Amino acid sequence: MTKSDLPLSRPFAAVEPGGALHCGKVSLESLARRHGTPLYVYSADQILERLGLFQRALNGREHLICYAVKANSALAILKLLGTHGAGFDIVSGGELERVLAAAPEAVGRVVFSGVGKTAAEMDRALEAGILQFNVESEGELELLAARARKLKRVARFALRVNPDVFADTHPYISTGLREHKFGIDIRRALDIYKRVANNRWLEAYGISVHIGSQIRSAEPFGAAVERVSKLVQQLRRAGIELRVIDAGGGLGIDYHATHFDAAAKVAEYAAALETSLGGFGGTLLIEPGRFLVAQAGALVSRVVNVKRNGRKTFVITDAAMNDLIRPALYQAHHEIVPVRPQAGRAQAVDIVGPVCESGDFFARDRKLAPLAPGDLVALLDAGAYGMAQSSNYNTRMRPAEVLVEGNKARLIRRRETMADLLAPEML
C-alpha cells in the first residue's frame, strides 16, 4: 500500500516516501512511544468530513443525522459530533448516559432504538426529553404508554417496521427480514397506530426502519423507504400525520479497497432515499455509525514475535481478539500495514494475537512486507466496532485511545490498569 493509495479513503499515510505512517500530521510511531500499544488512534478531521458529506447531500430536505453510538461510544467522539449538529441513535440506557455526559445540549436530538428497553431506561429517557422512541413491539408500546402516564410525560414514538427487504450482508448484521428479532411486521403497523391514536400519553411522531449493517448498495435502502412511504400515505388518509421518517443506518464501507469514494457513495444513498420518499414533507432522519468512524480509526500494535511452524509463518502482535474481535466474530477483513515499511519480498503470514484461542487472529495467509519483533503495524478501518466490542478476556487491559485533530493529538481514554480490572471484585 503506497502513500498515494491511503489518503484517498483513510487518514493514515506516510508524509514522505518510505516514511512512517501518520494520522493527519501526527506520527503513529510517536503516539506508540508516548502511549504504548495496543493503541486506538482516530482522526477527528475525517469523522467531521464524513458527517459533512451527509449534511451536504441532504441539504435540500429537512433532516437530522443521528450517529449510531454503538459503533464507537468514546465520549470525545460524541462531543465532537454533537458540537457539529449531529443527533444520536442509542440502544441502551448506558448510551443515553454517555450522550448526557458528552453532549447534553443534544439530548433533544436522541432517538432510542433496541428491542429490550426496560422501564427504568424509558423513565430516564422520558425525564431527559429525548426526541423519539423507536418502538419494536406492541408490548413495548404498552410499557412506554404506562411509563409516560406515570411520569406525566408525553412519549413521542415511531414504530420500527420490518419491511421484509433483503440486504446482502453478513447474517449476524442483517435485520430487515421477518425471521429477525427486530421490528414489527409492516402489515400490522396501520392498525397499531390507529389503536393508540387517542392515547394522551403517546404521540405518533414518526416511523422507523433499519434493514441491517455494512450494506454497500443503495437499492435496499430505497426499497425499504419506499414501503415505509406508502404506509405513511395510508396513515395520512386515516388522519394520522407523521413528522419523521427514520431510514435507519447501515451504509457500508469497503474494507478491502485502497480507494473508497465516500462522497459518491453518500450521494447515491441520498438520491435513493429522496426518490423513495415521494411527497413526504417532514423530516428525514438517518442513523449512520460505521460510515462516519470506521475508516477514521486504526489499531496500532507492536510485533512481539515471528514464529515459523513448518510452512506457516505467524506474526504475533501485542493486540488480540479482545482488542478487535471483528475478524474472529464476523470473519471480517482489515487491511494491515507496517507503520514503517521495511525492504524485502512480501510473504504470506498469519497475523495473530497472544490470547489462548485458535480464533485469535487478524488475518490468515496475508501477504505482507517483512516484519520483525518490535515493528509496529496498523490495523486499518478499526474505528467502528473495535473498542466498542473490546473485552478483558484473558485478563487483558483494554487499549488507550487517542484523537488527532490537525497536528495535535490528545489522549481521550487512558489504558486500563490491573487495579481497574480487579476493583469491582470481592474475595
Q: Scanning the structure block, which residue is given the C-alpha cell 426502519?
A: 209
- What percent of the chain is predicted at pLDDT more than 90? 87
Does 362 have pLDDT greater than 80?
A: yes
Give the pairing of strands 347-352 and 312-317: parallel
**CA–CA dist 388, 326 (Å, integer):** 11
Does 56 have pLDDT greater than 80?
A: yes
Q: pTM score, two decimals?
A: 0.94
Q: Specify the DSSP class assigned to residue 164.
A: -
Classify residue 94: in a domain, yes or no. Answer: no
356 is catalytic: yes
The structural domain count of the chain equals 2
pLDDT at 376: 98
Under the banding of pLDDT at 50, 70 and 90, the label for residue 180 is low
Classify residue 48: in a domain, yes or no. Answer: no
**CA–CA dist 197, 200 (Å, integer):** 8
pLDDT at 182: 63
Question: C-alpha cell of 351?
Answer: 497475523
The enclosing domain of 328 has a CATH number of 2.40.37.10
pLDDT at 173: 40
Q: Please, what is the average pLDDT of the chain?
A: 93
Q: Are residues 233 and 309 in the same domain?
A: no
Classify residue 76: in a domain, yes or no. Answer: no
Please compute Rg for the chain using Cα positions. Answer: 23
Q: Are residues 140 and 258 in the same domain?
A: yes
Q: Are residues 222 and 119 in the same domain?
A: yes
Q: Are residues 282 and 310 in the same domain?
A: no
Classify residue 66: in a domain, yes or no. Answer: no
Per DSSP, the three-state class of 341 is coil
Q: Are residues 202 and 308 in the same domain?
A: no
The parent domain of residue 212 ranges over 113-288
Domain stops at, among 253, 288, 323: 288
The enclosing domain of 263 has a CATH number of 3.20.20.10
pLDDT tens profile 65-107: 999 999 999 999 999 999 999 999 999 999 999 999 999 999 9
pLDDT at 4: 37
Q: Which of the residues 343, 356, 418, 427 is marked catalytic?
A: 356
pLDDT at 213: 85
Classify residue 83: in a domain, yes or no. Answer: no
Domain stops at, among 251, 266, 288: 288
Domain stops at, among 288, 314, 336: 288
**CA–CA dist 395, 373 (Å, integer):** 23
Q: Are residues 406 and 325 in the same domain?
A: yes
**CA–CA dist 283, 281 (Å, integer):** 7
More confident residue, 140 or 181: 140
**CA–CA dist 64, 300 (Å, integer):** 33
Does 207 have pLDDT greater than 80?
A: yes
Question: C-alpha cell of 417?
Answer: 490498569
**Ordered DSSP codes for 301-330:** EEEEEEEEETTEEEEEES--TTT--HHHHH
Q: Scanning the structure block, which residue is given the C-alpha cell 411522531?
A: 205
Q: Scanning the structure block, which residue is given the C-alpha cell 414533507?
A: 281
